[in-house]
Chains A and B, each alone.
Chain A
Amino acid sequence: MASVQSESNRQSGLQPQIRQEIKTPAPKRRKINKQKVAPYLFVLPFVIVFLVFSVYPFVNAIIMSFQRLHGLDDTVFVGLRNYKQLIHDPVFYKVLWNVTRYTFWTILILIPLPLVLAVIMNLDSTPYKSFFRSVFFLPVLTSTVIAGIVFRFAFSRESTGVFNTWIGHLGIKPVDWLDSPHTAMFALVVICVWRWLGVNMIYFLSGLQSIPKELYECAEIDGASPWVKFKSITLPMVRPITTYVLTISILAGFSLFNESYVYWGASSPDDIGSTFLTYIYKNAFGQGEFGYACTLGVAMFVIVMIINFIQVTVRGLFKED
């Protein structure tokens, strides 16, 4: 944010001179081409889509959250009833707990592990880099639905399923993976780790490559050990990337839908794998409770914004360059 500000200041400081220089020789053109109008036309697509597909639905979501809907257009204003229902809805707390746990685990795994891999991939001595990079990147090309289908049948409760075969080798009895709370969460986190490991590694790699080599050389002259170099150069230098990865992980975690839907459809047994979005989906398209579904959406929005706010404040994003 800060850099954006300074950039624009710099440019606006420069612009008047240039503008004056060219104002005289530039011939008069159709209005549409005028330098003053043109930028508005350029940004118009964003403004239109923003108004029609973000602002309007957002206002509508808030209105609908105070309504009961029988079908889409037959609405009754019910005041705070949906919100009261929300506060007393055990499933709401369950999905909140589910996505929080899910986000926690994915962050816990998908920040350190990719960082370590990126450090290894950034060493001059590591061979076959482009091969490994391609392999690590393959999962992200795969649709979560297809990945989900594969994992769903790998997590089969039958003893012949892949995971049960594997734990069978360790002498553990077959597990009904998708039917008990802890293994269900495990099954969700596994897909996420598989799919995003390579992506996060590439984010970190791009951060590492922008660190000036001289920093490490200076540290070496001072006799710093590899661990000290990692701790006092690498970690601080990849902080902006970490913030970015953290932000998208939180967004992705709270918006989890596909994997849960592939595993269980819109409702999992005892809601062990339900998420905000599967619960919204179930309320709207399963039970026709469009009003309550909107209330859930508003709640999700508020929660994500609170987390963003805390994150930004704690990490001091606005102070950074």
Chain B
Amino acid sequence: MKARKRISKILTVILLLLVSVIILIPFWFLLISSFKPAADIFGNGLNIKLDFSKMSFENYMKLFHVQDGIFWIWFKNSVVITVIQTVLVLVFCSMVGYGLAQYNFKGRNLIFTLVLVMLMVPGDILLIPMYKLVTNLGLMDSFAGVILPGVVPAATVFFFRQYAIGLPRDYGEAARIDGAGEFRIFAQVYAPMMLPAYGAMTIMTAMGAWNNFLWPLIVMRSDENLVIPAGLLTAMTPYGNNYDIVFSGSMMSIIPIIILFLLNQKSFINGMTIGGIKG
């Protein structure tokens, strides 16, 4: 029996290792490609041969030289958009979620139903009217145009609502008796209790904003306003001579988020298992 258990344990590890290897291979491709001359990859396709005589840090140096280091401008744009969007999403969604969970008011069920409906509708169907709206608001090619439409996503509202509904109402009542205002009760009593939810949603929102592609692609028109994913794709068009920064730039854009992940694994996983599944 013991021997059988041991064998099954070894088999599990082998199976899991196999899946891990398959998952890690593309990262390995990306890593070695970032050291290779881009012409080689664009001409011959991606290959796994390790030819150290051809490999160098040149592509990384080019991140600073190609178009006067435009990659770092994209990088800065991505950081700015990610930070602003994340802060706004957290503030607004936690407010809405808290409001829906901790108060009884006329229309609450209606609003919550709307949140649920929004979860089931693909937002991208509104691409064209949104484009028109943002154009008419004069927000094209601006950070505000990228950020504003995504500032209260239904999924995040739902997450905060599910979290806040588990919080006892007594604390709020006690604070009210002490004369605290409603916003102070939220900011000083309940927001601190929702810290784990903030942690999970910070990471999920930041990741989404950092990797967002389609909407910034439409809103941002000028080269120096692009975010990293859109920028890297323009670097792949045959006109520009920017091939070399595609793979090194990709590496630079996944490293921050992987570091963030390794530092906050738990919140990350919590964020994925969006509490709502139980509801």
**A residues lining the B interface (CB < 8 Å):** 1, 3-4, 7-8, 11-12, 15, 18, 21-22, 25-27, 29-30, 32-36, 38-43, 45-47, 49-50, 52-54, 56-58, 60-61, 64, 72, 117, 120-121, 123, 125-128, 130, 132-147, 149-151, 153-158, 160-162, 164-165, 194, 197-199, 202-203, 205-207, 210, 240-241, 244, 247, 251, 254-255, 257-258, 261-262, 277, 280-281, 284-285, 290, 293-294, 297-298, 300-301, 304-305, 308
Contact = CB atoms under 8 A, between A and B. Distances in A.
Nearest to A147: B26
B116 interface: yes
A33 B182 contact: yes
Contacts of A297: 125-128
Given A43-B108, A50-B114, A258-B214, 6 more contacts: A1-B116, A41-B99, A53-B149, A132-B20, A155-B45, A203-B272
A146 B12 contact: no
Contacts of B115: 46
B16 A150 contact: no
A165 B120 contact: no
B44 interface: yes
26 contacts: A21-B173, A35-B182, A40-B105, A43-B99, A43-B111, A49-B152, A50-B118, A50-B152, A53-B133, A54-B118, A57-B126, A61-B129, A120-B16, A130-B265, A133-B269, A137-B269, A138-B258, A142-B257, A143-B228, A144-B213, A153-B41, A156-B46, A162-B46, A202-B273, A300-B125, A305-B120
Interface in B190-214: 207, 210-211, 213-214
A262 B232 CA distance: 10
Contacts of B273: 202-203, 205-206
Nearest to B131: A284
B92 A45 contact: yes
A138 B27 contact: yes
Which 9 A-B residue pairings sit nearest by Cβ, starting from the closest?
Answer: A156-B45, A42-B99, A161-B45, A38-B182, A39-B103, A57-B129, A33-B181, A143-B211, A206-B273
Contacts of A207: 277
A153 B46 contact: yes
Contacts of B214: 257-258, 261, 277, 281
Interface in B130-158: 130-133, 135-136, 148-149, 151-152, 157
Nearest to A145: B229
Interface string B101-115: 011110011011011
A18 B46 CA distance: 67
Contacts of A21: 173
Given A60-B133, A117-B19, A130-B265, A145 B233 contact: yes
Contacts of B45: 153-158, 160-162, 164
Q: Of residues A11, A41, A42, A58, which shows the largest number of chain B Cβ atoms within 10 Å of its Cβ?
A: A42
A123 B96 CA distance: 39
B105 to A, nearest CB: 4
Task: Select the residue from A25, A162, A290 with max chain B CB neighbours within 10 A.
Answer: A162
B176 to A, nearest CB: 6
B79 interface: no
B189 interface: no
Contacts of A11: 104
Interface stretch (B56-64, B66-74, B246-254): B246-254
B59 to A, nearest CB: 14
B167 interface: no
Given A26-B176, A39-B105, A301-B121, A132 B127 contact: no
Considering residues A25, A57, A261, which has the most beta carbons from chain B within 10 angstroms of its beta carbon? Answer: A57
A143 B253 contact: yes
A251 B20 contact: no
Contacts of B53: none
B182 A43 contact: no
Contacts of B240: none
Contacts of B118: 50, 54
Contacts of A156: 44-46
A52 B213 CA distance: 22
Contacts of B131: 72, 284
A245 to B, nearest CB: 9
B98 interface: yes
B207 A61 contact: no
Contacts of A72: 131-132, 135-136
A59 B123 CA distance: 14
B46 A46 contact: no
B95 interface: yes
B133 A56 contact: yes
Nearest to A132: B16
B129 A60 contact: yes
B171 interface: no
Interface centre among B15, B45, B121, B149 (most CB of A within 10 A): B45
B48 interface: yes
Contact of B173 (A18, A60, A138): A18
A50 to B, nearest CB: 6
B29 A150 contact: yes
A120 B43 contact: no
B220 interface: no
B1 interface: no
A317 B123 CA distance: 22
B97 to A, nearest CB: 9
B9 A143 contact: no
B71 to A, nearest CB: 13
